[in-house]
Each structure stands twice: as C-alpha cells, then as structure tokens.
Amino acid sequence: MKARFVACVALSVIAVAVLPAQELGFSFIGPRLNFTFGFPIPSGADVELSLPVAPTARGPVAAVLALGAGFEDQYFLRDALTGAPVAPADELVYQAANAQWDLGLRVPLLGGQDPRLLEAFAAWRGRYDHRFNDFSTTVFEDARGLFGNALLVGLAYSGSGADSRRVKSGLDAEWSLEWSPAGFSNVEADHLRLNAQARYFMPLFSTGRDDLNLFSAYLASFASVDWAAGTDIPLHVLQSFGGRGLRSGLGGSVRGYASKSYDAATKAVANLELRLLGPAMFELPWFMPLVYGFYDAGFYHGLPESAGQEDADGFIASAGGGFALDLFDFAYAGISAGVLLPGGDALFPVYVPDGETFFFSVEFLLHF
C-alpha cells in the first residue's frame, strides 16, 4: 500500500515539475489546522495547480492538480464493535495523517470574458489516510486507514465576486458524481456519491467615504445535498459533503453540533448569514472587523453499519452570531456563540447527553 501511495505522489510531482512554469497557475485553497492543544496549530495545506493544455473557441482546456496533506485531530463517534453512534469523549479523539489529490481536466462550456463561468470537470481522485488509533475494524474496515481511488466528474458554475469593499455578490453552483467501486481501495470499500451545492451572495448596502470608513452589509447563503450508496461506504464519505472541495458533514456544517456526528449516507444542509463589514481598524484598510448572525439547518437519513440506526433520520438546526477579524480576505480569527435547535432529532440525546443547547467556539475560518 505504501509503495503504491509513494509512486502515485511521485508521478504527480514529476508531472508538475515538467510543466512550463510561465503558464502554470497556482492557488492556495486553505490551511489545515490541528486543535490537539486547544488552539490551532498549522499542520498542512491544500493547493491547486493548473495549466492550459488545449485552446477551444470557448477558452482553454486546463489540466488541474489539486493537492492536500495534513496531520489533524479527528473524532470517531461510533462504537467500534457495533457501529452505534456514541457521545463525544476524549478516548474517541485520534490523530490522522492524510494526503489527497485530484488530477484531471477542466473544460470551458461558455466563452466570453470569463471562460470558467460554466465548465465541466473530470479527475482521478486519490486519498491516503493513516489513522493513529486502535479501533476495531470489524464494522468499518477503514477505521485505521485507507488508500483509495475514485473517479470524479461534474459541472461547475462560477458567477460570484467581491467589490473593492469586500462585499460579495452572485452565485456559485456545482454538481458532481464520485465513484469508487470495490477493488479501488486497499480495504473493503466502495461508494457512489452524488452532490449538489450552491453559494449565493446578495449585497444590501454600502456606505462611507473611503476604504477606512466604509460600512457594508450583505446576505450570504450556502446549501448542499449529498447522497451516497455502497456496500462499504468509507468514513470520509459519510463524514463529509462531496464535490471538488470536501466540506464537513452535518456535525460541523450545522454549527454547535459535534464534529463528525450525524455521519449519514443522505444529508442536506442550508446556511444563512447576515454579514456586516467595517469600518477598518487602526486605519488599516486590510484589517476589517466582521459581525454576523447565522441560522443553520440540516437533515439526515441513514447511518450505514449502525446497529439499529440504519434508517435513522432527523432534522437539526442552530442559530446565533459571531465576530471575526478579516485579514486580507485570507485569515479570519474570532468567536461565535449560539443555541442548538434539535427539533425532532432522535439522536440528539446520544450526541448531547447533558442536553446543553448553548454553545461557544473560537473560529479561524469563515463558515463558507
């Protein structure tokens, strides 16, 4: 397994090394953070490289390599012997080394000023997980690690942007299919995942004489629907929303609920925020305070490999607000607080055994 992993990464690095540097595009997607000691320690990153490989009437076809690696703290909120969901506990926290890569093509479908407004994409997706724990592999064979491969195809619409005052507007949307049949991984694992997601931003107002005294507001929203099937769906599929960039599952996407909880095969989430920006602090236009209010809601159905909970379903939500410091639209640091609104969720007493609905957290990234 390790030899296959090293060979795949080496081939990817060699392919990038021989590309013409003057045409190579580079994007920093974001950092990986480890919270083992209660505060964030940078422990990895995700980046993307792109290169035009063929001209078309609608714009260039691009070869794309997305790379990510990190050493992160994780939760496994299942009983290792039965698969039943369990409450967060210190003994369920473990460290995990992860590397993943997407190597493929992006094909423009609309021409004009921005050929990437609508594009098709296809990629070979590789993933390596080494989980430093001693959990049983009776229920989830990938509980201690995985080397897997998948095919990812889809469509993406990129229509959002931000003005000079960082007020966002427009719509981004993506539809994708991810397929990894039996035999594509080093353990018993297979899955087919369909995902649809969208972000929409609507400006409300912006006032002030200059970049230092500005005060602006806009609505921000995100929604995603994720469906997975297979005889042995890997943990990272159950614990995330799919697409080109994986997003936390319901535990995390609905703020206040434990990370990695509600690791369902079918899940949906909707997030709504009112964001207030400015004025700039210390007469530095790049040092911007951000105040926001939020409402998150999610639905789940089906916890595979869970004793007595295979068909569990429920609705969860939370509401609250937060404050963050926006540094160049790149780094964010702040706090958020709110209340859990579990509705008719049967698993709420499992994941929140003390019934406490108030939550407070330190934030280091925007939610979406």
Residues 6+ apart with CB under 8 A from 79: 85, 86, 307
- Residue 234 covered by a domain: yes
What total number of domains does the chain contain? 1
- Residue 110 covered by a domain: yes
- Residue 253 covered by a domain: yes
* Residue 79 · residue 303 · CB < 8 Å: no
Instruction: Find the domain containing 110 and state its range.
Output: 2-363
Of 215 and 318, which is predicted with more confidence? 318
Question: Which CATH number covers residue 283?
Answer: 2.40.160
pLDDT in the model for residue 316: 97
Q: Chain-centre distance of CA 267, in angstroms? A: 14
- Residue 287 — very low, low, confident or very high, per pLDDT cuts 50/70/90? confident
Of 261 and 325, which is predicted with more confidence? 261
- Residue 216 covered by a domain: yes
pLDDT in the model for residue 365: 80
Residues 6+ apart with CB under 8 A from 2: none
- Residue 368 covered by a domain: no
Burial class (CB in 10 A: 0-12, 13-18, 19+), 351: buried
pLDDT digit string, tens, across residues 12-22: 444 444 445 55
Mean pLDDT, rounded, for 51-70? 94
Mean pLDDT, rounded, for 352-366? 91
Mean pLDDT, rounded, for 73-85? 93
In whole angstroms, what is the distance from residue 242 CA to residue 61 CA?
24
Residue 41 has pLDDT above 70, yes or no: yes
Q: Which of 31-40, 133-142, 150-159, 334-343 has the lowest mean pLDDT?
A: 31-40
- Residue 129 covered by a domain: yes
pLDDT in the model for residue 344: 80
- Residue 190 covered by a domain: yes
